[in-house]
Structure formats: C-alpha cells, structure tokens
Amino acid sequence: MRVFHLNSNYLYTTLHDLLINELKNHGVNNTIYMPYNGNENFRTTSENEVLCDNIFSKSDRFFYLKKQKKIIGAINEKYSFKDYDVTHAHTLFTDGFAALYLKERYGIPYVVTVRNTDLNYFFKYRINLRKLGLNILREADKVIFLSASYKEQLIDKYVKEDTLKHKVKIKSIILPNGIDKFWLDNKYYTDKSLVDKELKLIYIGEISKNKNVITSINAIKLLRKRGMDISYTIIGSIKDKSIMQEIQKHKYINFLGRKDKKELISILREHHIFVMPSKNESFGLVYAEAMSQSVPVIYSKNQGFDNQFENGTVGYSVAYNSEEDIVKAIQLIIKNYKQISKNCFVSVDKFNWKTISLNIKNLYYDIKDNR
C-alpha cells in the first residue's frame, strides 16, 4: 500500500508524524508532501519521507487558485504517480484541491480529512470557494471528520443538495486525533477528594483570544464571589499581551509559562478540572492529555472535541463565550467528580494512535479494493 500524503501542516504539529509512524508499523508506505511559505517555525522533525517545499510567497495566501496551481506544478515536477494507491489530503481546502487533481489526471482515489480551518474559515468566510469545497467532498472516496459535531455542522450548514448530503454521510467516518504514547504510558488515577479543599483549575495552551482565557477568569470571579475557594493555573506561551495583563491582576491565578510534558504530568495530577472554552478548535489534544491524568475537562460546544463523549461522561461542553455555562459545568463536575474522573482515566484509550492508524489503514485498503 503506497499512500501520497498532501499535508501543508505536517511539521507545524507533532500529531501528523505520530500517525505516519504508526501507519508505517502497519505496513503502509508513506510519501509526504508539505508545501510552505518559508516559515520554518516547525514544532517537530521527522525521520519519514517528507518533502518540505518552499514554493509560496507571502501574498499567495490571498490567492487560493494561484497557490493550488503552484502545488500541482511542484508535485508533477517532483513525483511520478504511477504506483500510488491512495492520496490522503489532510485538509479539505488547502490539500484537497491537489488530491482532486490527482484523481482526475491519474485516477488515484483519495480520502480527505475535514478540520477546523475548513469549517470555521473556508466554508464560513470564503463563500466564493464553497462550490469548490463541495466538489472536493463529492469526488472524495472517503471523508474523515474529527468529531460528529464537525460532520453535522458541515452537512447541515453547507451541503444543500440532498443527493450530496446522502453521499457524504455514507462515505464519512469519524476518527479523532490521537495523543502521544507518552501520555497513555503514564496514565494516572487517584481518588481525589474535593471536600473542604481549594478547587484547582488548569489551562494548558497558548494565551490567545481564541482560547478564551478571559472568559474562564470571569467564570472563576463569579464562583469566588459566591464563596468558592478556587484557583487557576495557566501554562503556555503568550500570544496576546493584553490577556497577560489581566492574568497578572489576580493573586489566585498562577502563570507558569511553558513546561515540557514530564512537568505537565506532575502539574496536572495536582489539579482538578481542565478548562479550555476555545472559540475554534480542530480537536484539542490537550483535553485528551488531561484525561490521561484523570482530570475532567470543560470544552467548547460544536468544536472538535464536542460529542467525542456524551455530555457529563468526561466533562461538559460550554458555549465558548458564556461565563455562566462554565460556572454550571464546574458545579456539575464537582457533584459527580469521582465518577467523571474515573471515566477520564478509562476513556482516554480512545485516543491511541495505534488503534486510530489501524482504522485509517483499513480505510485505505477499502478505497483501493473498491477502485
């Protein structure tokens, strides 16, 4: 099985390389093409066959078709497509156009993964590209959604044609991202008591407007006014200095900066609830990482983590901009803390790349066999 991966984000996050390593263990031969614009602020390195191709200028981001033509020209120049069984486009718009081209020119079937930017940027704001996005979906042999929420939103909001709705539903599969094996190898559960103790909330990630740290702080203010002993630990890099100024006003907020994963494990074990009501979130690996340490999670409605579990199983979904929603979620978790914490410990195995990659490998073979 030879798979050609179109992945414009491959080295900007660790998750793609983790998937490829597991696919390789399952006998899949992978070639990864990553076009980029010269920004080498990569989050990881890779021992896999990755071609990082600096083909874009800064202005190309404003001209979708110009950018796509550059990708097509580059892959035609650099690769022979005689022996590939499947193309995997790791985003619908940014990577999917070239996958559609490869199918039309060389007859290579493709699977496409729908992510946050596809739904919350391209479909939402690039109205002129919606028809193209729907055509990429129509011609895809399989469609991967990271969550049921994303599948429902895309089909309900943007797929108006009944025939296409039916077609997308039939060929879709919901597969979450996985987490680093480190977290699963270091799963931890202890019966934490919340009686007469300070409630310790935690957030891990970049400090930006999208992550809604200020809304979380406002929810904590409400609970403190109601007499709750509560603190908030924030870990991550600062993207917005105005948010940092608000953080520094409160003695009950502890800002720790960036930490490595070994430090994060010990810190998570000291906390009770993970809170991240992001405005937009493709998946949110850190929710699953917190779960591995039996820490219940508060996550955003209609984003990538929503509907991974029934509400109340490992935590609660909230409207990203609602302080009261966050307050209610915290109160509900406290009422059933022991069970929810245990559910987190048990349920986190859903995010094992070994299992997820096996499902993806089987998907590739299903596409190949029905070619």
Query: What per-residue confidence (pLDDT) applies to 282?
Result: 74
Residues 9 and 35 in one domain: yes
Residues 82 and 213 in one domain: no
- CA dihedral for 55, 59, 61, 65, sign (positive or negative): negative
The number of distinct structural domains making up the chain is: 2
- Domain, as residue range, for 333: 181-350
Q: Is the pLDDT of residue 43 over 80?
A: no
Residues 203 and 147 in one domain: no
Strands 29-36 and 2-6, sheet pairing: parallel
Residues 41 and 169 in one domain: yes
Residues 98 and 170 in one domain: yes
Residues 313 and 200 in one domain: yes
Residues 262 and 152 in one domain: no
Residues 50 and 122 in one domain: yes
Residues 224 and 239 in one domain: yes
Q: Which of 106-120, 240-254, 319-333, 353-367 has the lowest mean pLDDT?
A: 240-254
What pLDDT digit, counting tens, does each position of 241-299 carry? 889 888 988 989 999 999 999 999 999 999 999 999 999 887 889 999 999 999 999 99
Residues 101 and 50 in one domain: yes
Residues 193 and 145 in one domain: no
- Average pLDDT over every residue of 98-124: 96
The domain that contains 120 carries what CATH number? 3.40.50.2000
CA angle 128, 132, 138 (to 5 degrees): 145
Q: Is the pLDDT of residue 153 over 80?
A: yes
Residues 79 and 154 in one domain: yes
